[in-house]
Amino acid sequence: MSQDEELHAMDADRLEPGAGPDGPDGDDHPEHDDEHDDEHDDAPPLADLAPTPIHGYWKSLRELEGKAAFQVGRTGHEFPAGSDQPPRDPLSRRNFFHLMGASMALAGVGACRRYEKEEIVPLARRPEDQTPGVTQQYATACELGGVGHALLATSFEGRPIKLDGNPEHPFASGGVVPGTERRAGCSAFVQAAILHLYDPDRSQNPTADHGTGSSMDAFRAALPQLRAGLAQTVILSEASSSPTLRALRTRLIGQGVRWFEYEPLSWDNERAGTRQAFGRPLRPIARLDRAQTIVTLDCDLFLEHPAAMRYSRDFARSRRQNGSLGIGKMNRLWAIESVFTNTGAMADHRLALRAELGLPLAIALDARLSGGTAPAAEFLQEPKVEKFLRFLVEELKANRGKAVVIAGRRQPPEVHALVARINQALGAPGATLDYVEDPDGDRPSHLRAITELTRAMTAGHVGALIMLGGNPVYDAPADLDFAAALGKVKTSIHLHEYRNETSLASSWHVPRTHFLEAWGDVRTWDGTVTLAQPLIAPLYGGLSAIELLSLLLGEEKGGEELVRQTHKELGLEAGWKQNVHDGFVAGTELAAAAVTPVAFQAPPLTAGQQAGSLRTNGELEVVFVQSSFTYDGRFANNAWLWETPDFLTKVTWDNYALVGASTALGLGLDNDTLIKVKIGDREVELPCYTIPGQAKGSIGLVLGGGRTAAGRVGGNEHRRVGWDTYKVRTTAGWDVASKATVTSTGKAYTLANIQEHWDIRTGIGGRPEIHRDATHVNAEGLAERLPELIRETTQRTLNDDRKWRAEEPEDFFNDPENAGNTDRPHEGGYSLFKEKDYQGHRWAMAIDLSTCTGCNACSVACQAENNIPVVGRNEVMNNREMSWIRIDRYFSGSIEDPQVVHQPIACQHCEQAPCEQVCPVGATTHSDEGLNDMAYNRCIGTRYCANNCPYKVRRFNFLDWNKEWRDARNKVRRLLFNPEVTVRMRGVMEKCTFCVQRIQNAKIRAKAQIRSGQRPGSVSAVLPDGEIETACQQACPTEAIVFGDLADKDSRVARLHEDRRSYALLPETYTKPRNRFLARVRNPNPEFAAALQGGHE
């Protein structure tokens, strides 16, 4: 038996039967098959994992028991060690053999990286700008889907540990307006990208011939041959806004190279639409802060839009009704969408409509606003739609110059063109909307590019293909069969951080540097040139895209040199140092362009677009939805993102089909079952998630799951996370596919949902047909308490009723009859214990439910800042997720038109903390500044505190979640830990600390500066408001989270606590929380609301 055979034999019992790779037309996941036994362990064979082998696998006990309820066999097993996942027992016999076997295997793998010999010498003198133990911040940037994001990276002694938005950046922060801080939000994806830097699964060396180990020298040696045939070379790039890349591209095209660009989630329809409307591709940038009426047409402004973080900020400005902090009149958001999005959840009025009806709807709007013939579409006559449109048009007409309509990427170019015309009619350009020249207007659309390229490849016209990032084998339209076409290309080179599906199908794979390891430049959505500087030398070697192109040109220039050269060409050389420091080049944003409308004809409507809302099976529409976990699949190996629950579904570790509740009832589909979605002759099986408020007849397929070569977290050929929905995404139905058939397979499959399913199904309206078991008790209980937990009001009430307060005054204590009651030691309640008298700082937080869009940025920020472990799919099912800040989500209203209410919940830092009283060893105590502190090393883990916490914010380490990082091969992941925060061991309780490490650092810094005379004031004085930011606050794009000192009466938090919208959660428990919520203010159109309430006109 050879070494490898032996290893495989050892693993034989771990593999699911039939768990081999899918064939090209594989329509089923063998490992998801219901029939297969659950009891097998889950290791892929070692050979696949070399050179970073795995050892421990962690599973729940129930999984071991093989209980049907925990469908491990079907879901694929928990991800292996090395991911963000603790092992259960690293020293079991089997794991021991694994380790031994792995070491042996490693010895024989030629692909092993040999590190260069280097000498370590201690610093004789400390570098001037470095103090050991003190973090430093550098401006840098990253790119996602061809759009740059300005970042501020925190580095601790040479290793980056956190990413945030760059508050100095003009587009990211949007400047400072009264009542807001200088801050830039940072999306969950971008923040979590730092986890990839330290991912042990990253590719560490080039491979040749479809996965055989090779070296960078061998690759360099192969380059001259490639250079010789540049005329037959084609480059397929991810979308990129980089000026340097563009410069290199121009030069390469000059040498005969053909260039294509592909992104699976593309905003090209917008370009095409503006080309129709104005004769040239333009980029509309909405000025939401200036808009009174905002209409979205199948567009998620707050999560999916390339400018989501900025749009969230701008939108929130006028939503903030804070009395003294209030700014202007409140805007009104109308959302028309198929799938429920964060924007729909924030909307004042929402209309659920199939995506394909976007066109007739746009025509109808256009007709009513700018004259023209109304389309003949049945659904427009439906009372709900008719009423919605009537009031919307009325409002738009009344708000000319203060309104803006934005269409989403899924809508066809015609809709964008119509929307452009509507915006013209509304007088939006120049007021609430700017058009800027598309910086890369000439390139073909992504869909056309990939189609042409594949055709050329299939026809044998491509001699060599160089792919800069991307993963077209996985995410190109299924009908193109990119993998087969790639097989026909003699030389294919794939540059990527991971050895993914495309790398394995290419003749060469070259590791790409992480964006924190390389020089680069990007443009943010407004065009501002933003610089990316490396914070760390490449951990695993590799090249950046521009470096590879430079090699191809035979120059071999470093990234810095290349970027600087571009800089020089742009005439900016003088400011280089300052620009690198700031992270951007001021004044390089794209100027607003003057536009002249061009006449165009809206296309005729299809049968489906003329029909009503009701659809039968077989004519259903499928929309492809960006994943909140993996974007388009690229973040699949990111455990943080997989475990951050989707804002609306609250599901983790899976993608699924979103089916509207009534559609599901009609089709006999149910939650927690697998369904088959068939489009043409392609079909995919995946779990069903029924969600209220999704358009009738529209099925949302979430992209980005079912990867076969993502890594040990995101799935490999033996074990997958989620389901590959790209299998049914074709060029014809790329964004929206029609004529889909959905059938239930009847197979059970449990989604790892952090909130129970009952509220999805029965929390609304108590519809008897979807009641199950005893859940109506829960539905009633929920309906009763929700108005207590989440307070809401309308803008009108707030304006008209000056006495309105979110918090009812305590009846007893405010009753004049009880005024003389001297038993009352404190306002509003009693405590058995002596209440604390706070002398110094009184830290507190306020969370504005009006501006929280549910983007999850706070959750990921907290995870990164506080070293919060990931527990994995099964433990989420066991209700043991560890996030310190969670967003509770509830639906209210009817199933067809629900409203979403949500509430970010972290530790409330109660002054009368119930957790403190019950801890037998005093491990959780109160600080003099009002923080509820946790002494981890005193905690013995009775969990009584968690039982007694009314907010259920405490998180117990049920298992050793961090065991994995003690393993030598995963050591690199440990570099990401924030050294300021203890990594907790098993058996202790943890929870939000209000980022106590940041508070202490700010205090220490202030004291040191005061003592050294750098700063006026006394050591005991109050810190200036805003000097301390918690991680969640810093990441929040809308400033919904405000932290500060109540002792400072002028602080934002103190003023917000006094606001009439402010209320404490569960005041009857007399916990006196230091965190207060600000009631959500909705701003419905008064006439429309009245019409809806009256049930008639």
Partner 1 sequence: MSTADATMDSHHAEAGKAREAFRAVTRDVAWVAEAPRPHKAWLAALAVSLVLLAIGLYSIYVLVTTGIGVWGNSNTVCWAWDITNFVWWIGIGHAGTLISAVLYLTRQTWRVSINRSAEAMTIFAVMCAGLFPLLHTGRPWFAWWMIPHPNDMQMWPQFRSPLMWDVFAVTTYMLTSILFWYMGMVPDLATFRDRCAARGDKLRAIIYGAVALGWRGSARQWHRYERAYLILAGLATPLVFSVHSVVSFDFATSQLPGWHTTIFPPYFVAGAIFSGFAMVFTLLIPARHLFNLKHIIKDEHVEAACKIMLATGMMVGLAYATEFFIAWYSGNMFEGFTFINRAFGPFWWAYFLMVGCNVLVPQAFWFKKVRRTPIAIFCLCLLINVGMWFERFVIIATSLARSFLPAQWSYYTPTRYDVGLFIGTLGLFFTLFLLFFRYAPVIAISEVKGAMPEAHAGKKHQP
Binders in 22-61 for partner 1, by CB under 8 A:
60-61
From CA 39, how far away is CA 13, in angstroms rounded?
10
Binding track, positions 348-387, relative to partner 1; x by CB under 8 A? ----------------------------------------
Q: Per the structure block, which two tokens stand in for 48? A: 């696949």
Between 157 and 810, CB nearer to partner 1 = 810
Residue 381's SS3 state is: helix
Q: Per the structure block, which two tokens stand in for 1015? A: 């700063």
Q: Which of 172, 381, 134 is nearest to 857 (CA)?
A: 172
From CA 678, how far away is CA 684, in angstroms rounded?
7
Give the interface segment with partner 1, choosing from 77-85, 682-690, 692-700, 952-960 (CB under 8 A): 952-960
Site residues for partner 1, window 437-466 (CB under 8 A)? none
Between 386 and 780, CB nearer to partner 1 = 780
Site residues for partner 1, window 870-899 (CB under 8 A)? 875, 878-881, 886, 888-890
Interaction between residue 966 and partner 1 (CB under 8 A) = no
Between 952 and 1011, CB nearer to partner 1 = 952
Q: Per the structure block, which two tokens stand in for 623? A: 């929309």
Residue 283 forms beta bridges with which residues?
Answer: 436
Between 503 and 874, CB nearer to partner 1 = 874
Give the interface segment with partner 1, choosing from 150-158, 411-419, 993-1001, 1065-1073 (CB under 8 A): 1065-1073
Interaction between residue 950 and partner 1 (CB under 8 A) = yes
Between 372 and 950, CB nearer to partner 1 = 950
* Nearest-approach distance from CB 764 to partner 1, in angstroms: 13
Alpha helices in 296-440 (DSSP H): 308-319, 342-346, 358-370, 383-398, 413-425
Interaction between residue 920 and partner 1 (CB under 8 A) = yes
Q: Are 563 and 546 in contact (CB under 8 A)?
A: yes
* Nearest-approach distance from CB 837 to partner 1, in angstroms: 18
Residue 802 forms beta bridges with which residues?
Answer: none
Q: Per the structure block, which two tokens stand in for 1046? A: 């109540």
CB burial of 581-600 (b: ≥16 within 10 Å; e: otherwise) equals ebbbbeebbbeebebeeeeb
Residue 886 forms beta bridges with which residues?
Answer: 905
Interaction between residue 586 and partner 1 (CB under 8 A) = no
Q: Are 359 and 338 in contact (CB under 8 A)?
A: no
Residue 4's SS3 state is: helix
Q: Per the structure block, which two tokens stand in for 101? A: 């076997």
Between 425 and 988, CB nearer to partner 1 = 988
From CA 50, how far away is CA 58, in angstroms rounded?
20
From CA 532, how far away is CA 461, in angstroms rounded?
36
Between 204 and 982, CB nearer to partner 1 = 982
Interaction between residue 65 and partner 1 (CB under 8 A) = yes
Site residues for partner 1, window 77-106 (CB under 8 A)? 88-89
Give the interface segment with partner 1, choosing from 123-131, 467-475, 502-510, 984-992 (CB under 8 A): 984-992
Site residues for partner 1, window 604-643 (CB under 8 A)? none
Give the interface segment with partner 1, choosing from 12-20, 740-748, 1033-1041, 1064-1072 (CB under 8 A): 1064-1072
From CA 868, how far away is CA 738, in angstroms rounded?
42
From CA 134, how far away is CA 142, in angstroms rounded?
24
Question: Pick from 177, 921, 1019, 1021: which binds partner 1 (CB under 8 A)?
Answer: 921
* Nearest-approach distance from CB 1065 to partner 1, in angstroms: 8
Q: Per the structure block, which two tokens stand in for 1061? A: 């919208």
* Nearest-approach distance from CB 950 to partner 1, in angstroms: 5
Between 276 and 775, CB nearer to partner 1 = 775
Between 182 and 938, CB nearer to partner 1 = 938
CB burial of 9-20 (b: ≥16 within 10 Å; e: otherwise) equals ebbeebbbeebe
Site residues for partner 1, window 768-797 (CB under 8 A)? 773-775, 777-778, 780-782, 784-786, 788-789
Q: Which of 295, 304, 283 is nearest to 403 (CA)?
A: 295
Between 195 and 988, CB nearer to partner 1 = 988
Task: Count residues near partner 1 (CB under 8 A).
Answer: 71
Q: Are 320 and 295 in contact (CB under 8 A)?
A: no
* Nearest-approach distance from CB 896 to partner 1, in angstroms: 22
Q: Are 910 and 1071 in contact (CB under 8 A)?
A: yes
Between 37 and 65, CB nearer to partner 1 = 65
Question: Which H helix or E strand runs over 560?
Answer: helix 559-569
Between 726 and 956, CB nearer to partner 1 = 956
* Nearest-approach distance from CB 898 to partner 1, in angstroms: 16
* Nearest-approach distance from CB 183 to partner 1, in angstroms: 28
Interaction between residue 989 and partner 1 (CB under 8 A) = yes
From CA 233, how far away is CA 231, in angstroms rounded?
5
Contacting residues for 850 by C-beta, under 8 A, at least 6 apart: 316, 319, 320, 321, 1040, 1061, 1078, 1079, 1080, 1081
DSSP state of 725: G
How far is residue 219 from each of residues 223, 544, 767, measured CA to CA in Å?
A: 6, 14, 64
Q: Are 495 and 519 in contact (CB under 8 A)?
A: no
Give the interface segment with partner 1, choosing from 137-145, 499-507, 1042-1050, 1068-1076 (CB under 8 A): 1068-1076
Interaction between residue 1069 and partner 1 (CB under 8 A) = yes
DSSP one-letter string for 501-568: HHHHHSSEEEEB--TTSS-EEEEBTT--EEEE--SS--SS--B-HHHHHHHHTT----HHHHHHHHHH
From CA 1021, how far away is CA 478, in angstroms rounded?
64
Between 707 and 954, CB nearer to partner 1 = 954
Interaction between residue 748 and partner 1 (CB under 8 A) = no
Give the interface segment with partner 1, choosing from 264-272, 344-352, 366-374, 956-964 (CB under 8 A): 956-964
Binding track, positions 825-864, relative to partner 1; x by CB under 8 A? --------x-------------------------------
Return the amino acid letter for 992. C
Give the interface segment with partner 1, choosing from 213-221, 609-617, 800-808, 985-993 (CB under 8 A): 985-993
Q: Per the structure block, which two tokens stand in for 454? A: 């594949």
Between 512 and 1076, CB nearer to partner 1 = 1076
Site residues for partner 1, window 705-734 (CB under 8 A)? none
Residue 769's SS3 state is: helix
Site residues for partner 1, window 282-311 (CB under 8 A)? none
* Nearest-approach distance from CB 874 to partner 1, in angstroms: 10
* Residue 321 burial (CB count, 10 A): 25
Between 274 and 866, CB nearer to partner 1 = 866
From CA 909, how far away is CA 357, in angstroms rounded?
48
Q: Which of 731, 735, 638, 627 is nearest to 686 (CA)?
A: 627
Question: Pick from 441, 618, 922, 1017: which binds partner 1 (CB under 8 A)?
Answer: 922
* Nearest-approach distance from CB 984 to partner 1, in angstroms: 10
Residue 685 forms beta bridges with which residues?
Answer: 676
Question: Pick from 397, 938, 1011, 1015: which binds partner 1 (CB under 8 A)?
Answer: 938
* Nearest-approach distance from CB 300 to partner 1, in angstroms: 23
* Nearest-approach distance from CB 763 to partner 1, in angstroms: 8
* Nearest-approach distance from CB 304 to partner 1, in angstroms: 24
Between 880 and 1005, CB nearer to partner 1 = 880
* Residue 960 burial (CB count, 10 A): 18
Q: What backbone phi and psi angles, to 5 degrees, belong to 434?
A: -120, 140
Interaction between residue 66 and partner 1 (CB under 8 A) = no
* Nearest-approach distance from CB 940 to partner 1, in angstroms: 5
